[in-house]
Amino acid sequence: MSSFITVHDLHFAYPNYVTALRGVNLKIDKGEFVAIMGENGAGKTTLVKHFNGLLKPKSGYVKVDGLDTKDTTVAELSKRVGYVFQNPLYQLFSETVEKEIALGLSGMNLSESEKARRIDEVLIELGVEKFRNRHPLMLSEGERRRVAIASVLVMNPEVIVLDEPTLALDFLEKKRLSGVLTRLHKEGRAIILVTHDVEFAFDLSERIVTMSNGKILADGPKEKVINDKMLFSAAGLVEPQLFQLARNLQAMGVNVSDFSVEGLSTKFIEYSGKVERK
């Protein structure tokens, strides 16, 4: 069974710029939750822009749902791979949230009632129903980001790519976003998260791909990647404090495997002989 997205020996360089992809190989299946991580200039955004055809390979190929991206238009690929850009302001073209979401349907051959149904569904799913007639500029950053996701989701793509979705979001909005992404994933969509927010990536995704200098450094389930400290520094990532803590304790012989607040708290409560009162 071939993957939904196949990247084969992909090479790419922007004219006049150093950022390049030097032979990337990657396969992403339907329903996966993948985080692509690495520092600035590693090539993360460059890579994912190939998934909806915004960039075309210099050599090698990228196939999405059997289609070669070199021969397919961005519009056509966007029906399968929804792309949420880093800055929501770049992708908000309309006066009301409802019109913004409807924009994505203008290129699709659907009945009016089907369009309306989808818009309603998506507004509710992203929790932005009450902003239906509001101008996107009047919303907070987190709300705008959800509108941006909604406007891409309405096309019902099998894959959604989000480029640094947590930038400038506060704790509550991040939590909200987490909830949204988890739900979308449960519905069967593949989620590809480009981010340097390690905590967010590890909270949500199953598979972590790290990149550096245009190449993939590591690609595997998060349990495996989390235990590789070298990976963090090689990819230029900052290890969250909790991970550092857990790893240090591990090194001292304390038996910890779950690096989350819940996991560690349960473990330590056991140690102290108490019972956690929720």
Partner 1 sequence: MSGIFQALQWVKEDTPIHRLDPRSKMVWSICVLLMVILTWDPFILALVTLSLIPFVFLGKATSRLFQALKSMLFFVIILFALEVLYFGWYFGFIATMKFVLATSIFSIFFLTTHIDDFAAALNSLRIPFEFTFVLVTSAKYIPILFWEIQDITDAYKARGIELEKSVWKRIRSYATMLVPLIIVTTRRALTMAEAMEARAFGYQRKRTTYRQLHMHLPDYALMIVSVALTTGIILL
Partner 2 sequence: MSVLSIENLSYRYPNAEMQALNNVSLNVEKGEFVVLCGPTGAGKTTLCRCMLGLIPHFFGGEMSGNVLVLGIDTRYTKPSRLAAKVGLVFQNPEDQLIAMSVEEELAFGPENLGLSRDEIKKRIEETLSLVNIRELKDRAPSELSSGQQQKVAIAAVLAMNPEILILDEPTSMIDPRSAIEITQFLKKLNKERGVTVIVAEHRLDNLVSSADKIVVIHNGRVLRIGPPKEVLASNDLLEIGVAVPRIIQLVNRLKKAGVKIDNLPLTVEEAISVLRGIS
What residue ranges bind partner 1 (CB under 8 A)?
49, 52, 54, 73-76, 78-79, 82-83, 85, 87, 89-94, 103-104, 106-108, 137, 151-152, 155
| Shortest reach from residue 156's CB to partner 2, in Å | 30
In angstroms, what is the minimal distance from the CB of 91 to partner 1? Answer: 4
| Residue 168 binds which entry of partner 2, partner 1, none, CB below 5-8 Å type-dependent | partner 2
**Partner whose binding site includes residue 111, from partner 1, partner 2, none (CB under 5 to 8 Å by kind):** none
Q: Smallest distance from the beta carbon of 95 to partner 1, in angstroms?
A: 9
Which partner from the list partner 2, partner 1, none does 52 bind, CB cut-off 5 to 8 Å by kind? partner 1
User: In terms of Cα–Cα distance, which of 121, 231, 239, 110 is closest to 187?
Assistant: 121
Binding partner of 236, given partner 1, partner 2, none, CB within 5-8 angstroms per partner class = partner 2
Q: Which is nearer to partner 2, 73 or 265 (CB)?
A: 265
DSSP code of 238?
Answer: P
For residue 166, give every residue at least 6 positions away whose Cβ sits within 8 Å of its Cβ, in sequence order, or none.
Answer: 174, 177, 195, 197, 200
For partner 2, give the closer residue by CB, 65 or 197: 197
Q: 241 touches which of partner 1, partner 2, none (CB within 5 to 8 A by kind)?
A: partner 2
Q: Which does 54 bind (CB under 5 to 8 A by kind): partner 1, partner 2, none?
A: partner 1
- Residue 30: name its binding partner from partner 1, partner 2, none (Cβ under 5 to 8 Å by kind): none
The answer to whether 51 touches 62, Cβ cutoff 8 Å, is yes
Q: Which residues bind partner 2 (CB under 8 A)?
A: 39-41, 140-142, 167-173, 196-199, 236-238, 240-242, 244-245, 248-249, 252, 254, 261, 264-265, 268-269, 271-272, 274-277
Which of 107, 179 has the CB closer to partner 2? 179
Burial string for 246-268 (b: 16+ CB within 10 Å, else e) reads bbeeeeeeeeeeebeeeebeebe
Helix (H, G, I), strand (E, B) or coil at 256: coil
Rounded to the nearest whole angstrom, what is the least distance from the CB of residue 56 to partner 1 in the complex? Answer: 13
Q: Give the separation between CA 49 and CA 32, rounded to whole angstroms.
A: 18
The strand order across the sheet containing 5-13 reads: 20-28, 5-13, 59-64, 67-68
Q: How many whole angstroms separate alpha carbon 132 and alpha carbon 118?
A: 13
Strand boundaries in the chain, DSSP class E: 5-13, 20-28, 33-37, 59-64, 67-68, 81-84, 159-163, 190-194, 207-212, 215-221
**Minimum gap (Å) between residue 220 Cβ and partner 2:** 21
Q: Is 24 exposed, middle or buried (0-12, 13-18, 19+ CB in 10 A)?
A: buried
DSSP element (H, E) containing 152: helix 141-153
CB of 25 to partner 2, least distance (A): 26
Task: Supply the minimum distance, in Å, between the C-beta of residue 167 and partner 2.
Answer: 6
Q: How many CB atoms lie within 10 A of CB 176?
A: 18
